C-alpha cells in the first residue's frame, strides 16, 4: 500500500512532500483509523481545505465500498451452498493461522518492558476471560501510558 | 432507527481502531454480535473475504454489516460512521500534527496503546480458535478424523504464514482442503 501512496501522492502529483508522508505514518499510529484513510483526509485538506478532505476520503472509500456491497449479494446467495460451506470450513482454520501470524508481527514490533508485558497480559485477561469491553481497556492502557510518561517527565525535570 | 444505530455503533468502533484490522475484532464482536447483526462464524468467514479484497478491514466490515442489516443505505451509514472519527481527528490535527506527534502525553498514550492492541489481536486468536475448534469438545471430546484433518490444515497454514506465503494463497489452499474433506464426507453441516 505505502509504495502506491508514495508514488501517487508524493512523486506524481506532488500533493505533499516525502517528509510529510513520513510524519503522517507516525501520526496514523497515534490516531484512530487506517493509514490510507488518514492520508487521504490529510492530503485532501492540504490541497483544498475541508471539501478537498471530504473528496479525497470519499475517493479512498468508494472502491472497497462498491466491491463489498456487490460481494455481499453473492455471500448471501451462496450461504446455503454445500461446497461453499466446505470451503469456508477450511478457510476459517486458515484465518486462525493468519491472525496468529499477525499477532507475532505486532508482538515483535515494539520494545518489551515489564510494564508493556504486564499491560498485554492484563488486557488479554480482561477482554478474553472477563469479557470487559475492549474500549475500556484501550482507554485504561492509554491512561496508564500517559501517567507513566508524566512520572518520568517529572523526574527528569527535577534533575 | 437502524440507520442511526449503525452509524453510532461504527463511529464507536472507528474511534477505537488502533493497530489494524485484527485488533478490531474484539470490539466488533462486542458491538456487532450483541445487536444480532451477524454470527461469529460469519465474521471469521468475512475476515477471509476482506483479506482477499482491496481496502482496509474497517471499511470492508462496516460496509458488509451495514449492507446485511439494512441494505445500501445501512452500508452508507455504517461506513461513514467508521470513517468519521479519523476524518474529524485528522482535520483537527492537520495544522499542528508535529506538535501533537511529539507531545510527551501522546507518546505516553502510544506506549500504552501498543501492548493493548497486541493483546486485542491475541484475544482475536483465542476467539477464532474457539469458533473453529469448540464443536470438537461441545458434546464429548474424542479424536475424530475431522479433528485430525483440521489440525493438519492448521499446521500447514501456520507454517505457510510463517514462511511468508501470500495470505490469499493460504486462504485458497485451506478452501481446497476444506472442499476435499467435505466431499469425502467428513464435514457435516
- Residue numbers in B near A107 (CB within 8 A): 118
Q: Which of B111, B163, B188 to mutate to test binding with chain A, by most A CBs within 10 Å of its CB?
A: B111
8 Å CB contact of A87 and B47: no
CB pair distance less than 8 Å for A142 and B113: yes
By CA distance, what is A65's nearest residue in B? B63
Tell whether B52 lies on the interface with A, counting CB pairs under 8 A. Answer: no
pLDDT at A118 (0 to 100)? 96
C-alpha separations of B81 from A65, A73, A146, B13, B186 in Å: 13, 22, 28, 9, 42
**Min Cα–Cα distance to chain B from A149, Å:** 5
CA distance A117 to A112: 6
CB B19 within 8 A of CB B113: yes
Query: What are φ and ψ of residue B55, in 5° steps?
Result: 95, 155
Is pLDDT above 70 for A79? yes
- Single out the residue of B105, B162, B189, B114 nearest to residue A82, CA to CA: B189
Supply the mean pLDDT for chain A.
Answer: 93
Contacts of B174 in chain A (CB under 8 A): 90-91, 93-94
- Partners of residue B60 in chain A, C-beta under 8 Å: 64, 68
Q: What is the pLDDT of residues B155-180, one digit of tens each?
A: 999 999 999 999 999 999 999 999 99
pLDDT of residue B20: 77
pLDDT band, residue B187 (cuts 50/70/90): confident
CA–chain centroid gap for A123, Å, is 18
pLDDT value at position B189? 67
Cell of A7: 508514488
pLDDT at A98: 95
Q: How close B164 gets to chain A, by Cα (Å)?
A: 9
Check CB contact under 8 Å for B105 and A146: yes
* Nearest chain B CA: its distance from A119 CA (Å): 6
Where residue B55 falls among pLDDT bands split at 50, 70, 90? confident
Please give the Cα distance from B78 to A21 (Å, whole number).
28
Contact B158 A116 (CB under 8 A): no
CB-based contact (8 Å) between B136 and chain A? no
Q: Is the pLDDT of residue A149 over 70?
A: yes
B137-141 average pLDDT score: 81
**A100 contacts in chain B (CB < 8 Å):** 125, 158, 161
**Pick from B16, B25, B104: which is nearest to A32 by CB?**
B16
Of A88, A1, A87, A104, the C-alpha closest to B159 is A104
Average pLDDT over residues B132-152: 89
Per residue, the 3-state secondary structure of B121-143, as one string, reads HHHHHHHHHHHHHHHHCCCCCCC
pLDDT at A1 over 80: no
Tens of pLDDT, residues B3-50: 999 999 999 999 999 877 899 999 999 899 989 999 999 999 999 999
Minimal Cα distance from A40: which residue of B?
B87
Over residues B77-94, the mean pLDDT reads 96
Domain locations along chain A: 1-77, 81-109, 111-159
pLDDT (mean) for A138-158: 93
Of A15-29, B84-98, B167-181, the poorest mean pLDDT is in: A15-29
Query: And the C-alpha cell for A146?
Result: 500517559
Contact at CB, B157 and A97, closer than 8 angstroms: yes
Q: Among partner residues A63, A76, A109, which is closest to B55 by beta-carbon distance?
A: A63
Query: Across B1-129, where does the E strand assignment appear?
Result: none
Residues 12-51 of B with CB under 8 A from A: 12, 14-20, 22-23, 25-27, 30, 41, 44-51
Mean of per-residue pLDDT scores for chain B: 93
* Cα separation, A10 vs A20, whole angstroms: 9
Nearest C-alpha neighbor of B38 from the set B76, B6, B77: B6
Contact B54 A29 (CB under 8 A): no
Q: Mark yes or no for CB contact A91/B150 under 8 Å.
A: no
Q: What is the pLDDT of residue A2?
A: 80
Provide φ and ψ at B52, rounded to 5°: -100, 0
Question: What is the ipTM for the molecules in this complex?
Answer: 0.92
Classified as helix, coil or strand, B71 is helix
Q: Quote the distance between the C-alpha of residue B91 and its chain's center.
A: 27
**Yes or no, beta carbons of A68 and B67 under 8 Å apart:** yes
In Å, how far is B3's CA from the nearest CA of chain A? 16
Amino acid at each position: 500500500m505505502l509504495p502506491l501512496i508514495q508514488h501517487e501522492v508524493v512523486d506524481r502529483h506532488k500533493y505533499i512532500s516525502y517528509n510529510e508522508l513520513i510524519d503522517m505514518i507516525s501520526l496514523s499510529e497515534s490516531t484512530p483509523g487506517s493509514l490510507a484513510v488518514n492520508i487521504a483526509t490529510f492530503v485532501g485538506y492540504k490541497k483544498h481545505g475541508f471539501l478537498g478532505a471530504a473528496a479525497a476520503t470519499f475517493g479512498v472509500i468508494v472502491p472497497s465500498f462498491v466491491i463489498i456491497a456487490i460481494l455481499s449479494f453473492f455471500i448471501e446467495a451462496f450461504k446455503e451452498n454445500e461446497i461453499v460451506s466446505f470451503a469456508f470450513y477450511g478457510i476459517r482454520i486458515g484465518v486462525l493461522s493468519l491472525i496468529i501470524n499477525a499477532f507475532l508481527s505486532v508482538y515483535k514490533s515494539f520494545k518489551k518492558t515489564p510494564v508493556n508485558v504486564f499491560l498485554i497480559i492484563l488486557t488479554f485477561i480482561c477482554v478474553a476471560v472477563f469479557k470487559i469491553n475492549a474500549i475500556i481497556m484501550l482507554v485504561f492502557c492509554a491512561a496508564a501510558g500517559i501517567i507513566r510518561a508524566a512520572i518520568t517527565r517529572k523526574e527528569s525535570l527535577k534533575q | 432507527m437502524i440507520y442511526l444505530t449503525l452509524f453510532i455503533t461504527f463511529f464507536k468502533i472507528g474511534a477505537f481502531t488502533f493497530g489494524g484490522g485484527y485488533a478490531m475484532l474484539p470490539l466488533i464482536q462486542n458491538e456487532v454480535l450483541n445487536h444480532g447483526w451477524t454470527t461469529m462464524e460469519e465474521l471469521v468467514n468475512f475476515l477471509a473475504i476482506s483479506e482477499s479484497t482491496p481496502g482496509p478491514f474497517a471499511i470492508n466490515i462496516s460496509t458488509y454489516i451495514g449492507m446485511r442489516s439494512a441494505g445500501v443505505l445501512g452500508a452508507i451509514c455504517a461506513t461513514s460512521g467508521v470513517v468519521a472519527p479519523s476524518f474529524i481527528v485528522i482535520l483537527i490535527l492537520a495544522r499542528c500534527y508535529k506538535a501533537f506527534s511529539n507531545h510527551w502525553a501522546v507518546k505516553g498514550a502510544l506506549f500504552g496503546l501498543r501492548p493493548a492492541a497486541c493483546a486485542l489481536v491475541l484475544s482475536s486468536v483465542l476467539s477464532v480458535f474457539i469458533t473453529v475448534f469448540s464443536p470438537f469438545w461441545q458434546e464429548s471430546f474424542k479424536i475424530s478424523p475431522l479433528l485430525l484433518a483440521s489440525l493438519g490444515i492448521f499446521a500447514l497454514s501456520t507454517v505457510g504464514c510463517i514462511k511468508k506465503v501470500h495470505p490469499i494463497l493460504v486462504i485458497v489452499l485451506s478452501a481446497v482442503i476444506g472442499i476435499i474433506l467435505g466431499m469425502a464426507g467428513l464435514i457435516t453441516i
